[in-house]
Chains A and B, each alone.
Chain A
Amino acid sequence: MRQVLLAIALAVPLAITAIGLGAIALSERVGATLLDGRAPANLAEAGASARADLVIRFLRAGEDPARVYPVHQDVISSAVLEATALEAAIWSRQLEIVELLDREGAIPHDGGTRRSLACLALDLGVDDVAEYLAAADAAPCMPEQALQAVMARTRSAERR
């Protein structure tokens, strides 16, 4: 009896671990999910989550960096539920993602988009991004204007 109890004491904790890991592996193999965390669902969420790998993947899959995407409230905040990939990246202070999106051609050369993004970065106090996006000949920013524009989008979506 003692031997059986000791055998159970040695085997069961590890067997439970193996069963748990096996269940995760099996569920993933058949396309289901078990104990998995939330993964970014679109380009904006990937940008906000610093998931550069998914940014590239969503871009290759045809997602539009200029499009406004729904953003889960856990990703940025409950005040920002809709954003473009660049806005989301700036809001999450992700300079590397902004640079990556720029390299991928996500910032059009129209001047206006870059300026409004730089203004958003200034409003949010993300100095490194603001510096990266700043253009010598750009008009000065109106404080809070870019920030309010993004947040107004969420308020508008909530009213809808």
Chain B
Amino acid sequence: MIGVVEPVAVTPASSAARWTAFAYGVSIALILAHFVLGLPVQVSDSLGDILKLSASWSDLLSAQFTQQGFMRPFHWGSLKLVHDLSGGNYYVWYRGAHVLQVIVLVLLYLALVRPRTWTDAAVLPLGLGVLVGLHTFAGTVREAFPINLYLTVLICCFAAAVVVLGRYRWWNDVLLVTLFVVATLTLETGLLVWVIAVGGWMIGARGISRGGVVALVVLLAGYFYLRFGVLGVGSPGLAERSSGFGFGILEPSELVERFGTRPIVFYGYNVVTSALSVLLSEPTGGVFQVVRALRAGAVSPVMIVNLISSLGATLLIGRYIWTRRRQWQAGLTIRGGVHGATLERDDRLVLLFAAVLAANAVITFPYSKDVIMSPAGGFLAAAVFVAARHLLATAPSAAGTSTRWALVTVAAVLVASTWGLRAAGLHASLRVRAVAERLDWAYLDGNIAHGEVQIPRDARSMTVVRTLQDDALVRHPAPRPLNLPLGRLLGVED
């Protein structure tokens, strides 16, 4: 788009700009929190788990080290902790924890991109729009288990990036090791904390010491040894769950039938499509929805919105990489054992996005699920902020003719508008979900009677069920439905 790099015209740092950006970020977090609070604790993925939490700490945690495919003791520890603290007030504590996660995430995003000038304040809405509008983020707020473990990992990843890209302090190494342990034992994608910390160090970030890197390498080796060598937990197999492939969803039996003798093909598909999904919003969940809709002549407006917005964001990052390629070539050359010393913080942030995208896609190999890619999506939002800031700082002097300049401005309006629609669509979908989750509670008794939901029927369990049911249907009923304009563009009518 614009290949010439002129001296960067950066507006000076301003306390007012910083506070404006902070206030905007907090507002976005509080608005999202309001919509998240509209959701009840779910029946699916939450009720069964809550009923298990009356077990002792030792029973609960030891079970996490003896099952097949997953090893998530910290997730269960956090569930148990909130459960025991709640005193039976589950809605307030679990939904409160989710809201707290949302606020912490946005604050960490602000710490990561560091808006300090009016230029930064101007691009922050786009960055936050990408953060909450990308489809990989939706699963971190639409669902809870009943604490959203994907959001926990995203928070740990952002926190690790803030620490590793910041100034070194003596406790940074301890903090990064703690984040790695918590994230990795919460969810498998927690391994990305290692990628961020060690990858950051490799590209010259010095928020971590050499000793910290060594500790993380040892811990990573220990994790794999424990998981695969000692405990035999392994990783999810083909028969674990259904997954998208091509133009549809394959059930576990179909996956085994088609890929049982050559799973590497399916795993490779998952890795490639997961990365593409973050960059282009297509495919989603492993399914090429837009291509399928094109073939059927049924492309919906929201698909076009998603494609335009993601393409715009990816091109913006591509422009940044292109204009910074010489600095990157020089910075990534190892001189005297020093890596990336000449790179700027923004360069490192974009490089971290690339590293997280690749590693996140690899971790997703067993099956495709949008929310698993939420760390890569989060870092995409940070990279978009950096790229947009750079565009603002360089484009005025580089943009040449008026026609070209007008095109850049129109493209900016289009990309920003489509991200606005996606962010609004997320909020609208939360409102739809608020009703759908409550319908599950309303029909629960019938579903239990028909054997469609199987839960323990002892007195204690039924007391918990009634408390949660009353929370969802009586004490905290569904908020009123929204009648937003442009519903088809938001995807809520599809």
Contact = CB atoms under 8 A, between A and B. Distances in A.
Interface of A: 2-3, 5-18, 20-22, 24-25, 28-29, 33, 35-39, 51-57, 60, 96, 99-100, 103
A3 B388 CA distance: 12
Contacts of A38: 481
B126 A14 contact: yes
Interface of B is mostly: helix
Contacts of B410: 9
A36 B412 contact: no
Given A6-B395, A11-B416, A16-B420, 12 more contacts: A6-B408, A10-B416, A11-B122, A11-B124, A14-B129, A18-B423, A28-B34, A52-B442, A53-B435, A53-B477, A56-B442, A100-B446
B123 A10 contact: yes
Given A3-B395, A53-B473, A13 B417 contact: yes
A4 B477 CA distance: 45
A53 B482 contact: no
Nearest to A52: B442
Given A2-B399, A6-B412, A28-B34, A11 B442 contact: no
Contacts of A60: 473-474
Nearest to A7: B122
A21 B5 CA distance: 38
Interface string B445-478: 1100100000000000000000000001110011
Contact of B129 (A8, A17, A20): A17
Interface of B: 9, 24, 27-28, 30-31, 34-35, 118-119, 121-126, 128-129, 388, 391-393, 395-396, 399, 405, 408-410, 412-413, 415-417, 419-421, 423-424, 427, 435, 438-439, 441-443, 445-446, 449, 472-474, 477-485
Contacts, number: 142
Given A10-B392, A17-B424, A39-B481, A57 B123 contact: no
A51 B9 CA distance: 56
Contacts of B118: 7
A25 B31 contact: yes
B482 A13 contact: no
A32 to B, nearest CB: 11
B464 to A, nearest CB: 18
Contact of A35 (B34, B474, B483): B483
B112 to A, nearest CB: 18
B393 to A, nearest CB: 8
B119 A7 contact: yes
A37 B482 contact: yes
Q: Identify the interface centre among B31, B405, B410, B435: most chain A CB within 10 Å of its CB.
A: B31
B409 A5 contact: yes
Given A6-B395, A14-B416, A57-B473, A20 B483 contact: no
Given A11-B122, A103-B445, A57 B35 contact: no
A93 B370 CA distance: 35
A53 B439 CA distance: 5
8 contacts: A6-B408, A9-B413, A10-B122, A12-B416, A16-B420, A18-B28, A35-B482, A96-B446
Q: 6 tightest CB-CB pairs across the interface, nearest first?
A: A52-B442, A14-B125, A53-B438, A7-B122, A17-B420, A37-B483
B427 A21 contact: yes
A10 B126 contact: yes
Contact of A103 (B399, B405, B446, B477): B446
A18 B393 CA distance: 24
B410 to A, nearest CB: 8
A65 to B, nearest CB: 15
Given A21-B31, A53-B439, A53-B472, A33 B480 contact: yes
A52 B484 contact: no
A39 B478 CA distance: 10
Contacts of B424: 17, 20-21
A6 B391 contact: yes
Nearest to B38: A28
Contact of A9 (B28, B396, B409): B409
B481 A36 contact: yes
Nearest to B34: A25
B119 A18 contact: no
A26 to B, nearest CB: 9
A25 B30 contact: yes
A37 B435 CA distance: 13
A38 B439 CA distance: 18
A53 B441 contact: yes
A15 B419 CA distance: 11
A56 B477 CA distance: 10
A88 to B, nearest CB: 16
Contact of B443 (A11, A22, A54, A100): A100
Given A11-B123, A60-B473, A100-B442, A36 B417 contact: no
B392 A22 contact: no
B31 A18 contact: yes
A89 B204 CA distance: 66
B406 to A, nearest CB: 10
